[in-house]
């Protein structure tokens, strides 16, 4: 009987020079990977980002998609942007422009549901700083009408954080939410019903009062403020603050916006404060009204300028301020 030969693997070893070469190759691969793969900023709460013209920053909202935000141009009068999911070849390119202190609701994938609110904080010829706030998709907030969807005819490389998106754009179509005349009338009727119900709530009534107060107080002057402050505090300004310190931060108006939600007969009513300062401009109260329910006020959230406050606190402050009959009521907070 022939004994089978024992199978053995060929013996080989790496020399010291080969090991060094392998380590060097791995280091090169690591460096190249770090250069080609851009850094991504994950945004789970309001965050500000500064960009230079033609610079791209990669961001990731809570839905997990990576998005490229490019500053196309910037000046003292505003800034324009491109935004698209990565890779851009498979996604739409969204274009929008912002004037100083303005904001827009934007869908980063070009859909009919906005997933971020982006506000222009500062702008110059050399840079622009924006504030990005992620939006809850379940609220089904529609993109702002001025946001435009572009159809790129060719796409070159996506920048790695310093270069631009390299987009060549052909045709343009504005994101449309148009429906038939019947549907528009039906939606407007739904909005009217929702606002009528909201105006029956304490918060709805309070917001109407604050809107009147803010609009009137746009006429406040330093002289009137000083005399009013001294009357209510028995002190002479500028203790603790004077008019110059607070005039840029007190709202001059409240705007109301309504949008439909996916759930039938549900309307999102958004009260936003308008102020010379971005710190006190933006969403202040979010209310969801179900027009078909007896308990129609489904949700109420105080945010922005009103974060941490509630109806009782706001109503107490309004009661004090509304008793000041001149144009400086909103500037004088309760002692």
Lowest mean pLDDT: which of 84-93, 96-105, 169-178?
A: 169-178
pTM passes above 0.75: no
Encoding tokens for residue 318? 């309004």
Is residue 304 within 8 A of residue 283, CB to CB? The reply is yes
Alpha helices in 199-237 (DSSP H): 202-216, 222-233
Between 83 and 28, residue with greater pLDDT: 83
Cα(41)–Cα(110) distance, integer angstroms: 20
In the chain, domain spans: 41-174, 181-331
Structure confidence by residue, pLDDT tens digits, 266-320: 999 999 999 888 888 999 999 999 998 888 998 899 998 899 899 999 999 999 9
Which secondary-structure segment (H or E) carries 181?
helix 181-198
Residue 52 has which token pair?
């230079």
pLDDT of res. 187? 80
Confidence label for 182 from pLDDT (cuts 50, 70 and 90): very low
What H or E segment, with its residue span, contains residue 197?
A: helix 181-198
pLDDT at 184 over 50: no
- Peptide linkage before 278 cis (omega within 30 of 0): no
Distance of CA 302 to the CA centre of its chain: 16
State residue 7's pLDDT score.
46
Given a cut of 70, whether residue 161 has pLDDT beyond it is no
Residues 30-59 have a mean pLDDT of: 73
Is 181 a residue whose pLDDT tops 70? no
pLDDT digits over 236-258, tens only?
Answer: 777 777 888 888 889 989 999 98
Share of the chain residues as helix, strand and coil, in percent rounded to the nearest 5: 30, 30, 40
Class of domain 41-174: mainly beta
């Amino acid at each position: 009987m022939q004994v089978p030969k024992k199978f053995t693997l060929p013996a080989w070893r790496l020399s010291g020079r080969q090991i060094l070469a392998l380590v060097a190759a791995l280091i090169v691969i690591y460096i190249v990977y770090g250069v080609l793969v851009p850094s991504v900023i994950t945004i789970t709460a309001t965050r500000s980002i500064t960009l230079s013209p033609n610079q791209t920053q990669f961001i990731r909202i809570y839905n997990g998609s990576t998005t490229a935000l490019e500053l196309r141009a910037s000046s003292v009068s505003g800034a324009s942007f491109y935004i698209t999911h990565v890779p851009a070849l498979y996604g739409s390119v969204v274009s929008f422009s912002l004037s100083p202190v303005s904001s827009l609701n934007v869908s980063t994938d070009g859909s009919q549901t906005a997933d971020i609110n982006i506000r222009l904080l500062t702008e110059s010829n050399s840079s622009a700083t924006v504030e990005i706030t992620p939006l809850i998709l379940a609220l089904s907030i529609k993109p702002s009408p001025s946001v435009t969807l572009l159809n790129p005819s060719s796409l070159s490389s996506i920048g790695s954080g310093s270069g631009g998106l390299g987009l060549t754009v052909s045709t343009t179509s504005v994101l449309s939410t148009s429906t038939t005349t019947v549907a528009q009338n039906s939606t407007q009727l739904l909005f009217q019903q929702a606002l009528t119900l909201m105006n029956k709530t304490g918060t709805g009534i309070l917001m109407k009062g604050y809107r009147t107060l803010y609009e009137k107080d746009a006429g406040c002057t330093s002289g009137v403020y000083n005399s009013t402050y001294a009357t209510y505090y028995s002190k002479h300004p500028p203790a603790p603050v004077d008019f110059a310190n607070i005039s840029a931060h007190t709202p001059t108006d409240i705007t109301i916006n309504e949008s439909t939600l996916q759930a039938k007969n549900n309307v999102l009513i958004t009260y936003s404060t308008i102020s010379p300062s971005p710190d006190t401009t933006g969403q202040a109260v979010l209310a969801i009204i179900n027009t078909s329910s007896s308990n129609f006020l489904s949700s109420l959230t105080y945010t922005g300028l009103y974060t941490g406050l509630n109806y009782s606190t706001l109503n107490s402050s309004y009661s004090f301020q509304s008793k000041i009959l001149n144009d400086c009521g909103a500037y004088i907070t309760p002692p």
